[in-house]
Amino acid sequence: MTSPAPGLDARATAKTASDAAPTAARGAVSADPLYAQVASHYRQAIAAGTMPPGSRMPSVRALMGLHRVSLSTALQACRLLESQGLLQARQRAGYFVRPPRATRLARAAEPRQTEADPARFVGVHERISDILTRGLATDVPVNLSGACAHPTMYPIRALSLQAQRLLRRRPEILGTPPDPRGLVALRVALARLALDARIQLGPDQILITHGCTEALGISLRAVTQPGDAVAVESPTYYGLLQILESLGLRALEIPTSPHTGLSVEALEAAAAREPRLKAVVVVPNLQNPLGAVMPDAAKQALLACCEARDLALIEDDTYALLCDTPQRAIKSWDTTGRVIFCSSLHKTLAPGMRIGWMSAGRWHARVEILKYAQSRPNEMLGQAVVAEFLGAGQMDRHLRALRARLATQRELMAQALSDHLPAGTRLSVPAGGMNLWVELPEGLSSMALFDAALDKGLRLSPGWMYSNSDRFDGFLRINAGIPMDERQRAAIAMLGALCASMRRAQGYTAGP
């Protein structure tokens, strides 16, 4: 790609495709030449999925009218987008949005380790806290460290209007202690949502929590004692490691494939050696950070293994609704109440609201006690707003749009990484969600990159955070949830340059 690398441009991210009217490029005060402004407008529309691959670009004549520009400016804009790999010209038919180029990077490798280390007490808090604190202390123009999509990709206007209506109609909701049993309408709506994962639940089997984090913590409190061991995926979400650490539990890290998820074989072998193993925590659909989706057979094998060894199976469903094609939850095969199903609307509906929920099978009564003693019920306002949104049947349409945009953004991010990261980099592009898992070429440390990139205005999520070991220092998790723009492209080019210079310093041949 011959990107002109126009530098970190504050305007480009502030203005997303959905905000921009067709003639906005002209009106904006910009130092960019006019053709670049027109090109940027369509680049954002492509990144946002408004113009999907294969769709036709407005004709040069149409561009002249729409943006009130000259023929040569309209042509220059199209040629710039063509040179950036976003458009392709078809003879006599005009320009079309180009299907994403096959990425130059190799597919993520299977884990080298096939056996689990012995379970260890977790001691990650210092490192994670240090990384988060330093990241937050630096005001960066580009942040690829999160795991949420951009706020404009969530239905915040609809939710906000709903909240305003509710506050006008029932202000006493702020002055009345919430019902300990939680809002029935929300639990009914969530039971309906769970049907898509093939789970049959009644509203009484659902408990509302402060995000999935509280649900996971309460699950572990219900089935373990301090000193017990809990099997987790390796790599795994650092938030889970922090929960294990705070509860005095030992983590048994099970090798996990970036494609098919947790290795049930490795779990079987490790479980046989660990007498105090009490539970397995697993993210079967769009594992964080790998993006893996377990095949149905593996999900069933995992459940059978937990049945045979009398382990609690804690299923974290956080990302499942973002799968490109619907996937079954392990809970859907559970006939004995062994699966504790934990979910959240934090990634799928409203990252600013802490609406999580759980259904804990045979441990549900215990879990209700723990939640009530730990934090009392959630506030009613948020529950009522979300219940209304879900009840009005708006969720399906929102999810379809969100999935489509994320699919485009994953491809654009993969392309940008492919354009700039050194040869030898490996990449997993999952079939849903926003997390890309990048394996750096040998010798590169994600922690060194984190520090160097932060200095230059880019916040990363180093692989080092995702394990109680140092095993994943050579990895990065990259958020593809923010619409691609020039500023992000420039930041990734800068990341590529950092990798190259670090490798040169180590005596490797420079990358592209």
Rounded Cα gap, residues 310 and 337, in angstroms: 12
Q: Which is nearer to its own copies, 305 or 482 (CB)?
A: 482
Residue 430 CB, nearest approach to its own copies (Å): 20
Q: Which is nearer to its own copies, 53 or 178 (CB)?
A: 178
- The separation between CA 237 and the C-alpha centre of its own chain, rounded to angstroms, equals 11
> Is the bond leading into 33 cis (omega within 30 degrees of zero)?
no
Q: Which is nearer to its own copies, 209 or 467 (CB)?
A: 209
Residue 124 CB, nearest approach to its own copies (Å): 10
Two tokens, residue 173? 């909701």
Which positions lie near its own copies, rule CB under 8 A? 125, 129, 132, 136, 146, 148, 150-154, 156-157, 159-160, 163-164, 167-168, 171-181, 209-211, 213-214, 217, 221, 225-226, 239, 242-243, 245-246, 346, 350-354, 369-370, 372-376, 378-382
Residue 87 CB, nearest approach to its own copies (Å): 30
- Under a CB-based contact definition with an 8 Å cutoff, are residues 263 and 256 in contact? yes
Buried b (16+ CB within 10 A) or exposed e, 155-182: beeebeebbeebeeeeeeeeeeebeeeb
Residue 372 CB, nearest approach to its own copies (Å): 7
Contacts of residue 413, defined as CB under 8 A and 6 or more positions apart, other chains included, come to: 436, 478, 480, 484
Q: Which is nearer to its own copies, 7 or 123 (CB)?
A: 123
Residue 468 region by backbone torsions, left for phi larger than 0, else alpha for psi between -120 and 50, else beta: alpha
DSSP letter assigned to residue 508: P
Residue 392 CB, nearest approach to its own copies (Å): 16
Residue 245 CB, nearest approach to its own copies (Å): 7
Residue 279 CB, nearest approach to its own copies (Å): 17
Rounded Cα gap, residues 58 and 62, in angstroms: 6
Q: Which is nearer to its own copies, 317 or 419 (CB)?
A: 317
Residue 313 CB, nearest approach to its own copies (Å): 21
> What are the φ/ψ torsions at residue 353 (nearest 5 degrees)?
-110, 145
Buried b (16+ CB within 10 A) or exposed e, 98-126: bebeebebeebeebebeebbebeebebee
Q: What's 87-145 look like in SS3?
A: EEEECCCEEEECCCCCCCCEECCCCCCCCCCCCEECCCHHHHHHHHHHHHHCCCCEECC
Q: Which is nearer to its own copies, 279 or 292 (CB)?
A: 279
Residue 378 CB, nearest approach to its own copies (Å): 7
Residue 48 CB, nearest approach to its own copies (Å): 15
Rounded Cα gap, residues 444 and 192, in angstroms: 46
Q: Which is nearer to its own copies, 78 or 482 (CB)?
A: 482
The three-class DSSP label of residue 437 is strand
Two tokens, residue 279? 């539970």
Rounded Cα gap, residues 94 and 270, in angstroms: 59
The three-class DSSP label of residue 485 is coil
DSSP letter assigned to residue 362: G
- Under a CB-based contact definition with an 8 Å cutoff, are residues 270 and 141 in contact? no
Rounded Cα gap, residues 336 and 351, in angstroms: 33
> What are the φ/ψ torsions at residue 225 (nearest 5 degrees)?
-120, 155
The residue assigned the tokens 């099997």 is 231
Residue 247 CB, nearest approach to its own copies (Å): 8
